[in-house]
A and B are shown apart, each in its own frame.
Chain A
């Protein structure tokens, strides 16, 4: 049974109830290498179908993976609706530009083989004691959304991600350096990946001590993502706004400051793995500012959250086949500034560069502050990284992080598949080392 015939069968079983069908097929091929030696290949294909039924003012979801009967599936959704919520009171109503579901996905372009041998050789030339592990993950995802209220939305999206780990054992310590980005993309080719790994392997060769705690802090894109972008995205998404837990709850758009951070959610970004024309409820997507110079400018909402908040869906619904939609941004973007990274690092005689943090997720989005430890932190002197510092803790008031003065690098880099961010000096962040 194809995705389209399965979904149509469920739609036909709607009876007089309002009904929405979400059918998903996801194929993933993961290839792994150790050095330039193949280390395995895994293929996964998952198909599932979910139906939401609105009956007597309440909505329930039933889902199935495997053989199913359309009438039974709809009946289960009606059972779930008996104890379900009143929202959304209508499913998406506006047809969106859609590919042809019956035709299925187009044949993929022929993929070029990943340049594994070149990567391994070039890394070995620079750092013979480092071991490279590589993963290339190719995915193809078909989505079909139908509703009794007129939505028919189908697309097929493909993406490839590269994950690299450079490992080195050094005086009893094992260090793993992780890299993850879309492949290929403008900023993630062989040179970019190598530059990333080689720099960090060099920086971690030497140890340094924090001379004092009162140092300016620079965040790499990865640290900016963990400390600022993702928590902010969570705080501006439906669930946190609904129950008032977001530290930004109650903030409404106002006159922006001149210094703070501007953050976009861009589902239209070319080449981004999470870009799409409609969300998982069939609502059209568009590029939106979430934060404008430190002040709330927008939200990420699905149909239910939007209705309960008295707002419109922002086309931010994401879902698995077996669960209700949840709102989250597609791709978080902070545009680069006017300073290149080298100049940014050299702005102060001494600074701390934070590259990887741990434990930031313990800080609840309802808290006004954030605390974390720095897993990878470096001391910078005269614009040069002089060595890795350990035992560094980080803390900040979230408002200071967003509204305080920021200096952004020209260069931007992918952080996984979710964010494209620059390096940044954030005035609101404090570091401390217990040994200082």
Chain B
């Protein structure tokens, strides 16, 4: 949709208006944000468009950093000014350490042009043809395309004023096959900052269709403990779900029982495992220069050689734990208060080349194409869509999809080899926490080998 005013004009207006309010004498400890976000969405079922949408979001937020109960998100600047004055009147600022203000308006530039929706719909329709060509047994093909552009201003009463621009395009395609009573399911999930690049290759759809076809005849694995080798994407998902969430300091502040399990220095994994979250790593979906409280992004080692090293922090949690903020206060958009969130989480590479890692596996499974997972503190359930048998140190036939289940810390301690390569596989979707469900993140790592991992057929 075309807004009444241009995007840059809206953002500049918010900087003048809310920045001016923050700069008034006597205003301390206050934050304000303003965001214009636009996105376009297409959904196709079996090659035909079923949904086409263009959406505009323009919202301002004011509040005390780290205080969800002193936060207001409103859809016009007059209301934002009123809320800012009211919060200031009613609430003393939180005691946070002073910082050096940053002014960085490099992001105040026009949003990139949109790809034509008709063209995108045409490309997605050809992907459907590709799926049918690779897997004639396809009985259902859905694709979901989304392209977002955001320009976000953050200002603080300490003089910090930052504008950042984000672009993010993603494609998810799901393919279901059937032959007699057997069914197969697989998916392609890709994302990129550049939408043209995203749709430049049909390879992800081709691979997913091939996998959905293979599952029609894949043998189911026997349930029980076995040696598994995770590909870099599975490794990244494991690091994010299993360790990343347990190192988010706002959660640990609320949950002393869990904080005791994750006390700094405590061994939670094999000494081969080091896990990092790095929002400053270029070119990934979780990349930013400053978080939503104006803290500069930098890498944080959360687990070092198997021991808890540091937590991820906002300004408020850092003050609570007596450390420096790590730049991980993030909000899905300005409608939400920033929470402590991951950005780009990965396992640091080790010393074992992939072929050497396989050499030591007489009988096991190689897991790829993660389906996501869920953890309940120290137990987990993860899914792998594409699985290969390892026999005699070599990859063999594909088998059916599997669930990995078990005790988190026991499983992480059973990692006995970490690959020497580091890869990120940028995929669509987002990370959910509390009422925010679509934060762009990335994850990756090297191959990992785990002994005695509980698997069951899916």
Contact = CB atoms under 8 A, between A and B. Distances in A.
Interface of A: 34, 39-47, 59-69, 72-73, 75-77, 79-85, 87, 131, 133, 167-169, 172-176, 239, 242-245, 304, 322-324, 358-359, 362-364, 366-368, 371-373, 375, 391, 393, 432, 434
Contacts of B111: none
A62 B51 CA distance: 11
Given A72-B2, A364-B176, A366-B185, A65 B56 contact: yes
A286 B42 CA distance: 31
A69 B52 contact: no
A362 B371 contact: yes
Contacts of A172: 261
Interface in B68-98: 68-69, 71-76
Contacts of B378: 173-174
A133 B40 CA distance: 39
Interface string B235-276: 000000000000000000011011011000000000000000
Contacts of A68: 1, 3-4, 56
A40 B381 CA distance: 32
Interface of B is mostly: strand
Nearest to B116: A83
B22 to A, nearest CB: 21
A76 B257 contact: no
B181 to A, nearest CB: 7
B176 A366 contact: yes
A427 B377 CA distance: 31
Nearest to B377: A174
Nearest to B139: A244
Q: A46, A67, A77, A244 — which one has the most chain B CB atoms within 10 A of its CB?
A: A67
Interface in B396-447: 401, 403, 405
27 contacts: A39-B254, A60-B52, A61-B53, A64-B1, A65-B57, A65-B58, A65-B59, A67-B5, A69-B4, A75-B2, A77-B54, A80-B40, A83-B118, A84-B51, A85-B52, A133-B254, A172-B261, A173-B378, A175-B377, A245-B140, A323-B53, A324-B50, A358-B381, A371-B403, A371-B456, A372-B381, A375-B379
B117 A79 contact: yes
Leading 6 A-B pairs by shortest Cβ distance: A66-B58, A76-B1, A359-B381, A84-B52, A243-B140, A169-B257
Nearest to B375: A358
A175 B258 CA distance: 10
A322 B55 contact: yes
B405 A66 contact: no
A116 B57 CA distance: 37
A60 B55 CA distance: 11
B2 A176 contact: no
B376 interface: yes
B204 interface: no
Given A65-B75, A359-B405, A432-B223, A364 B185 contact: yes
Contact of B403 (A77, A174, A373): A373
B337 interface: yes
Contact of B68 (A40, A243, A324): A40
Nearest to B456: A393
A393 B405 contact: yes
A221 B409 CA distance: 30
B104 interface: no
Contact of B4 (A39, A72, A244): A72
Contacts of B48: 85
A359 B374 contact: yes
B206 interface: no
B32 to A, nearest CB: 15
A248 to B, nearest CB: 13
A45 B261 CA distance: 37
Given A62-B56, A65-B75, A80-B52, 12 more contacts: A62-B55, A63-B56, A66-B59, A69-B2, A75-B2, A76-B2, A87-B50, A174-B257, A243-B141, A358-B405, A364-B183, A372-B381
B335 interface: yes
Contacts of B55: 62-64, 322
Nearest to B409: A172
Contacts of A83: 42, 49, 52, 117-118, 120-121
B225 interface: yes
Contact of A169 (B51, B139, B260): B260
Interface in B345-402: 371-372, 374, 376-379, 381, 383, 401
A358 B377 CA distance: 13
Contacts of A40: 68-69
Contacts of B53: 60-63, 80, 322-324
A43 to B, nearest CB: 7
A214 to B, nearest CB: 16
A62 B1 contact: yes
Contacts of B136: none
A67 B4 contact: yes
B304 to A, nearest CB: 22
